[in-house]
């Protein structure tokens, strides 16, 4: 085997394994007790069998006393059955402790994702590492999942060794008779040391070769992950409801099948099959044959000693069984240590993810709770570039929010409107300048406390497949009157009246056949209601009506004053007709605020960008008495 690039130095591999074990201990301490007891009893069971059957055979081949025979048979049965029963109970207990650890692992990763800086969440490298971790675990439980298996194997191995040494120690003490001819050599201490040396060497060699063979799995990891990804994507695409329409319309099924067939990862042409035919296969075969040679050696040594009169037939069974167990125990330990080293490569990826620093959300100041909602927010000469980009998404932006005002943010696509909101919500921190809440840099506040003053509806909001009321309140328990009130304000009242289960109606069909499918516009109204229910001093709406039809949009905006009440509202819209309802409009262009003023003030400036934008959209509007309707999407 060529020097394996994927193998991690022993010290580092050991460190990674200890850390992973510690992580298991911290998160699932109860598992260790059940695994420990199960491993010990599991390892002792065959040894108990070996000891008692040896006594029965000894009696059969020796004195043949019926009472003594019955005594041993009864003990064999009772202790055997009792231990089996205990093992079965421990096995169930162990499995019930283990159940759910997969989800707990996933929770560990999800919690990390939720606590890390948003720029890292948004980073494709982070998503790639996470997907590698999941692929490794799905592929063959590589990574964190393997740790408890290693713990069990080490413990089982150690118990087997201790038990079998106790059962086989007399093998080397018992002397062959003086009349044994050449076999007298079996009494020689030198010969015994030699036999023990060869025995130890072969016992170690077999698992070492096996773990060398296993190292090829790490080498194939990248390709296997990709193969798994391809399989998960194309193999299950037919079950994907979101794609069902496209697949039918464009007959994509055949195309996907072909893509799946083109991937050779797990076929005879793939890397893993090539390894199996080559060095990996040879190493596995060598490991298996050495283990057989070892068994042959043990049989020969024990039988020759018995032949030469060192002990009886019962002891032969005991020694052969014990030495086989000793060899199994050593193999378990050496094999596991090798496997731990191989697994270190996968653990490195796991910790790379878990160690992504969380530098952003370290503030500790509490936000003063004010009944009068007197919170002042100010952007002071803020500039910002997205990570790994060279262009300024925001440049020298200064803006102070007036309490209780309705501020509209307009501008062409890519002008920095959403980025402005993301900075306000501390999803990113400015590269230059600062954002102040009541005169203090928002970085200094505890992030959760800070976010308590905002209700935000982003364009790509998501509702949950739970009940309508739970969705609005984001909680299982809620104030129904308030929920209904919020839905009414958001314009969902007519639809709500038609739902036979009212607030208990499930959205979508994931968890109930009675669930309702809702349109994009209805979902948007529910999202608005969700923001209103929280009743926070700032209401931020990023393109809140993009999915509404023009009439529904008009209704939302004309009710904006009722909706917003005394809150400060900041909303982004690309439909300028909706901005007329706001007190102030900030016009963004290429990351800068180029104009600020009321609708009338901005329209009066015929050289300004607002004027140009307004006129570009005006041709799509027509007046209908009091109302101005948007006829065509722009």
Q: Is 544 in the site for ligand ADP (CB under 6 A)?
A: no
Considering the complex, what minimum distance in angstroms separates the CB of residue 389 from ligand ADP? 5
In this structure, how many other beta carbons lie within 10 angstroms of the beta carbon of residue 517?
Answer: 8
Q: Between residues 57 and 393, which has the closer beta carbon with respect to ligand ADP?
A: 393
Q: Is 139 in the site for ligand ADP (CB under 6 A)?
A: no
Rounded Cα gap, residues 524 and 579, in angstroms: 18
Considering the complex, what minimum distance in angstroms separates the CB of residue 15 from ligand ADP? 35
Tokens for 397, please give them.
């932006």
Q: Is 414 in the site for ligand ADP (CB under 6 A)?
A: yes
Considering the complex, what minimum distance in angstroms separates the CB of residue 416 from ligand ADP? 5
Q: Is 589 in the site for ligand ADP (CB under 6 A)?
A: no
Q: Is 430 in the site for ligand ADP (CB under 6 A)?
A: no
Rounded Cα gap, residues 530 and 487, in angstroms: 8
In this structure, how many other beta carbons lie within 10 angstroms of the beta carbon of residue 156?
Answer: 23
Rounded Cα gap, residues 155 and 164, in angstroms: 14
Binding residue count for ligand ADP, defined by CB under 6 A: 12
Rounded Cα gap, residues 283 and 219, in angstroms: 15
Q: Between residues 326 and 397, which has the closer beta carbon with respect to ligand ADP?
A: 397
DSSP label at residue 160: H
Rounded Cα gap, residues 613 and 446, in angstroms: 39
Considering the complex, what minimum distance in angstroms separates the CB of residue 603 from ligand ADP? 21
DSSP letter for each residue of 213-266: HHHHHHHTHHHHHHHHHHHHHHHTGGG-GGGHHHHHHTTHHHHHHHHHHH--TT
Q: Is 408 in the site for ligand ADP (CB under 6 A)?
A: no
Stretch that binds ligand ADP, among 321-329, 348-356, 364-372, 407-415 (CB under 6 A): 407-415
Q: Is 393 in the site for ligand ADP (CB under 6 A)?
A: yes
Among 207, 416, 430, 515, binds ligand ADP (CB under 6 A): 416
Question: According to CB under 6 A, which residues from 329 to 358 bind ligand ADP?
Answer: none
- Which H/E stretch holds residue 456? strand 454-457
Contact 574, 588 (CB under 8 A): no
Stretch that binds ligand ADP, among 87-95, 106-114, 416-424, 469-477 (CB under 6 A): 416-424
Locate tokens 């006829």: which residue?
631
Q: Is 417 in the site for ligand ADP (CB under 6 A)?
A: yes
Q: Between residues 221 and 609, which has the closer beta carbon with respect to ligand ADP?
A: 609
Q: Is 419 in the site for ligand ADP (CB under 6 A)?
A: yes
Considering the complex, what minimum distance in angstroms separates the CB of residue 489 from ligand ADP? 26
- Which H/E stretch holds residue 487? helix 480-489
Tokens for 342, please give them.
């191989």
Q: Which of 195, 151, 155 is nearest to 172 (CA)?
A: 195
Stretch that binds ligand ADP, among 292-300, 352-360, 413-421, 554-562 (CB under 6 A): 413-421
Q: Is 415 in the site for ligand ADP (CB under 6 A)?
A: yes
Stretch that binds ligand ADP, among 33-41, 386-394, 437-445, 494-502 (CB under 6 A): 386-394
Considering the complex, what minimum distance in angstroms separates the CB of residue 560 from ligand ADP? 20
Helix spans in 242-368 (H):
244-249, 252-262, 271-277, 279-307, 313-354
Rounded Cα gap, residues 605 and 612, in angstroms: 10
Contact 182, 340 (CB under 8 A): no
Stretch that binds ligand ADP, among 142-150, 316-324, 408-416, 435-443 (CB under 6 A): 408-416
Helix, strand or coil for residue 396? strand
Q: Is 124 in the site for ligand ADP (CB under 6 A)?
A: no
Interface residues with ligand ADP (CB under 6 A) are 122, 386, 389, 393, 411, 413-419
């Amino acid at each position: 085997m060529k020097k394996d690039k994927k193998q991690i130095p022993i010290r580092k591999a050991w460190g990674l394994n200890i850390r992973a074990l510690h992580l298991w201990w911290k998160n699932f301490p109860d598992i260790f007790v059940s695994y420990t007891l199960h491993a010990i009893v599991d390892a002792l069971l065959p040894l108990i069998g070996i000891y008692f059957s040896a006594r029965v055979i000894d009696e059969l081949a020796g004195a043949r006393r019926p009472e003594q025979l019955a005594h041993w048979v009864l003990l064999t049965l009772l202790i055997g059955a009792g231990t089996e029963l205990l093992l079965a109970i421990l096995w169930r207990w162990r499995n019930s402790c283990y159940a759910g650890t997969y989800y707990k692992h996933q929770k560990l990763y999800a919690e990390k994702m939720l606590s890390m800086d948003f720029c890292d969440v948004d980073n494709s490298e982070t998503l790639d590492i996470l997907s590698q971790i999941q692929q490794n675990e799905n592929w063959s439980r590589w990574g964190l999942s393997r740790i408890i298996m290693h713990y069990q194997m080490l413990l089982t191995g150690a118990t087997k060794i201790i038990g079998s040494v106790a059962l086989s120690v007399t093998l080397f003490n018992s002397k062959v008779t003086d009349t044994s001819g050449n076999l007298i050599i079996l009494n020689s201490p030198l010969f015994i040391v030699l036999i023990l040396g060869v025995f130890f060497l072969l016992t170690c060699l077999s698992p070492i070769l096996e773990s060398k063979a296993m190292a090829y799995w790490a080498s194939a990891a990248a390709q296997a992950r990709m193969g798994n990804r391809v399989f998960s994507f194309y193999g299950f695409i037919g079950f994907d409801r979101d794609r069902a329409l496209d697949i039918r319309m464009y007959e994509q099924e055949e195309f996907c099948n072909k893509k799946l067939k083109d991937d050779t990862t797990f076929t005879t042409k793939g890397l893993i099959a090539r390894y199996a035919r080559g060095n990996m296969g040879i190493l596995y075969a060598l490991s298996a044959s050495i283990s057989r040679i070892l068994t042959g050696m043990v049989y020969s040594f024990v039988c020759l000693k018995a032949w030469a009169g060192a002990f009886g037939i019962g002891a032969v069974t005991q020694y052969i069984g014990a030495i086989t167990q000793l060899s199994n125990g050593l193999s378990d330990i050496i094999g596991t240590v090798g496997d731990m080293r191989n697994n270190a490569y996968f653990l490195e990826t796991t910790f790379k993810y878990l160690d992504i620093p969380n530098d952003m959300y370290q503030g500790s100041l509490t936000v003063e709770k004010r009944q009068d909602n007197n919170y002042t927010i100010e952007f002071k000469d803020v500039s910002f570039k997205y990570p790994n980009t060279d262009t300024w998404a925001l440049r020298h932006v200064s803006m102070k929010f007036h309490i209780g005002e309705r501020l509209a943010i307009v501008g062409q696509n890519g002008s920095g409107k959403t980025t402005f909101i993301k900075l306000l919500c501390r999803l990113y921190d400015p590269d230059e300048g600062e954002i102040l809440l009541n005169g203090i840099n928002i970085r200094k506040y505890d992030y959760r406390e800070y976010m308590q003053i905002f209700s935000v509806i982003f364009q790509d909001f998501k509702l949950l497949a739970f009940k309508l009321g739970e969705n609005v309140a984001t909680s299982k328990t809620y104030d129904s009157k308030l929920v209904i009130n919020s839905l009414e304000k958001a314009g969902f009242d007519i639809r709500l009246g038609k739902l036979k289960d009212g607030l208990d109606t499930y959205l979508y069909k994931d968890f109930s056949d009675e669930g309702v499918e809702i349109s994009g516009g209805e979902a948007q109204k529910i999202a608005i209601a969700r923001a209103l229910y929280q009743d926070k001093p700032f209401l931020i709406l990023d393109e809140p009506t993009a999915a509404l039809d023009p009439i529904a949009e008009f209704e939302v905006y004309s009710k904006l004053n009722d909706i917003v009440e005394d809150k400060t509202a900041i909303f982004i819209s690309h439909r300028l007709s909706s901005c007329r309802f706001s007190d102030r409009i900030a016009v963004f262009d290429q990351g800068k605020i180029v104009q600020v003023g009321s609708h009338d003030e901005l329209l009066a400036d015929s050289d300004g960008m607002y004027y140009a934008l307004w006129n570009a959209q005006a041709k799509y509007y027509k007046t209908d008495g009091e109302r101005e309707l948007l006829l065509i999407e722009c």
